[in-house]
Chains A and B, each alone.
Chain A
Amino acid sequence: MYKRDTAAATRRRVNQAGRRHFDGGKFQPVDYPHRLNFYTTPPTEEVTLDEFEQWAIQRLKVLTEIESALFRNKTPDELKSILNDLLKRHLPLDANSSRSESLTAQRRTDHYSHFILRLAFARSDELRKRFSKAETILFRHRLMTDDGLEREGFIASLGLDWERLSDDERSELESELKAASGGKKNLEPTYYKIDWEKVPELVERRMVFLKRGMAYVPASLQTAVVVGEFTNHLDRALELTARALPRLDEDERLIPILNHLSHGFTAPEFTSDPNGTHLPGTAITAASIDSLLQHFPACMLHLHTTLRRNKHLKHFGRLQYTLFLKGIGLSVEEALIFWRSSFSATPEDKFNKEYRYNIRHAYGLEGNRRDYKPHSCQQILLEHAPGNGEAHGCPYRHFGPDNLRAFLQTQMGVTDSSVLQGVKNDNEARKYHLGCNRVFEWKHREELKREKESGKGTVKETIIHPNEYFLRSWELAHPDEVQEAAKKMEGMEMKDEVMM
C-alpha cells in the first residue's frame, strides 16, 4: 500500500541531476514517432516531483493488476479486456492515426513511468523478474493491439535486421516454408529473413526454415520474436541499472518515493488489522484454535494435524503456520503458549533455545524487527516442495493425486465425487488454487446460497491467500457479527487518503 506523502506533493522541481537517474543511452531530446516504445533511450527532460510520483503510480496500478490477473489464471481474452479497461483509465496510448492532441503527453507519461519503475524495481532479483514479466505482458498487449501499419513501422524502427522475403524467393521456397510451419495449408503472406541467432528458441523447436544461417520467420511468429527481444533488452537493462544503483547519488527526495513504489508492487497481500482483533467479537487464543479448524484451508489444516500428530513441525512449516496464526489474530503471547503446548515432547530449555526466538522473530520482535506478513498462496506455491518430514506447502500442489483425494475426503470432509474430480482436473491444469476455491465453494455452498439470496453478498474474487480463506469462511458462518461490525465502521472516517 502506498500512502501519499502530502508534504512531498508540493510542486518542486527535480533539478538537472535528475537526469542521472535513468540508465543507459545517450542524451538526446526525445520525440515519439511510434506509439510503442522499446525504452532504449532514457528520458532527459525535467519533471516535477509530483509528476514523477503520479506517473509511476499510474503504471504501477497497471502492472499490479497484470500480476494479479496472471495469478488468478485469467484466460488471454479476459486479460485482454482487463488490460484494455485499465490502460484506458491509467495509461492510455493512442495511435498516430487518432490524431489525438494528447499523443505526446501520453507517450511521455508512458516513457517516464517505465524508467521510474525500472529504478524502483532494479534492486532485487525477484523484483526485477516480476517487473520484467509484467512489462513484457504489457508490451505484448500493446503490440498486438497496435494498428497494423504502425506496428510494421515500429518494428522496422528497431533495427533488428529483418529482411522481408521477396515474392520470388517466397514462392521458390514454398514447400520448405510450409514444411517448417508444421503443415499449414497456405503460406503466410509475409516472411522475414533474420540471422538465426536472433531467434534461437524458434530454431530449437524447428519452427522455422533455416538456410545458410538465416531463419525464415513468418509474420505470425515475428510478434513472439519482437516480444522476446523486448524482454532480453529489458533484462539486460535492469541488470545494468541494478549494478549502477549503489553509485546513484539520487536526489534524496526520490529515495522514499522509490521505496514506496517497490513496496507497492507486492504479491497480493493480506493486510492484517494493526490493532490485533480480526474477528469481530471473538478473541483468538491458544486454546481456541482447535475450535476454528473448520475455517482452515487445506494447507493450514495439514500443518495443524501434522503438528498434533508429531508434536513438532519443521522449520518452513512452522514459519508458514506461525504467520497464518498471526494473521488470524493470535497475539505473540498466545502464540508462545500455543507452540509451547503443541511441542509437548520438547524439553523446556530446548524449546526456549531453539523455537522461542523464531516465533518472536516472526512477530517482528527480534532480529531485524521486520513485520513478516502471512504467506500468500503464490508465496506458498513458490516455496521449495516439502521434503521428507516437511509439512509446508500447498496440498493441492505437493500431494500426489491419491493422497490429496484421501486428505480431502477424510480431513476436509469432501464427499461429492464431482468436486473431487474437479480438483483433479484443476491440478492437471496446474491451477492449484482453483482446486482450493472449488473445495471452499462446496464446503460453504449453503451459506453462499443464503448470502446470495439475501442480496448482501458482494461478488468476490477467487481466494488467493490462506488468511482470506479463513476470514471469508468465518464471516460466512457469522453474518450477524459481521453486520454489527460494519455498522460500527460507518461514520468512522479514514484518516489517510489511500492511494492504492
Chain B
Amino acid sequence: MPNFTLNINNKDYSVEAESDMPLLWVLRDILDLTGTKYGCGVASCGACTVIMDGNAVFSCQRPVGACVNKKIITIEGLSEDGNHPVQKAWQKARVPQCGYCQPGQMMRAAAMLGKNKKPTDETISSEMSNHLCRCGTYHRIKEAIHIAIEEINK
C-alpha cells in the first residue's frame, strides 16, 4: 500500500492508505482525529470540512494522494485549547445542539475570517450555506460569526 506524508495541525504524519481514500477517512479511521465528521461523502453537507492551505475544503472530496505538501488544519488543531476567536464566539453564543455539524461550521468560519476579517453578510451567507445543521442552529451561527468578527477587529 502506498505511503503518504501529511502535514496535519503542524505535525507530519506518515500514513499507509490507498491513494483514492478520502482525507476524511484517513483523519478519522487511521489517525483517530474524529473531530472531522462524515455526513454525506458527496459534498452536500459540509460536516467533513477542514482547512487546507488556508481554504475550507470538504475532506470527503480530497483523495489522500492529493493532500501531500499541503498544510491541513482540523478542528483538533484550530487552537491550543479551544481559544480560537471562532471557538470562543461559538461558546459565547452557545451554538451547539447535538454539535455534530459544528466542527465543519467552525472550520468554514475560521477559514473565511482568516482571509477576510470583515466579510459582508452576503459572503457569510454564501460561505455558511455550504453546511447543513439538522438541529437548526443557523440563528446562533450567525450571531457567533458576528461576535468573532467583532473580536478579531478589536
Query: Do A and B actually bind?
Result: no
Residues of A bordering B, CB below 8 Å: none
Residues of B bordering A, CB below 8 Å: none
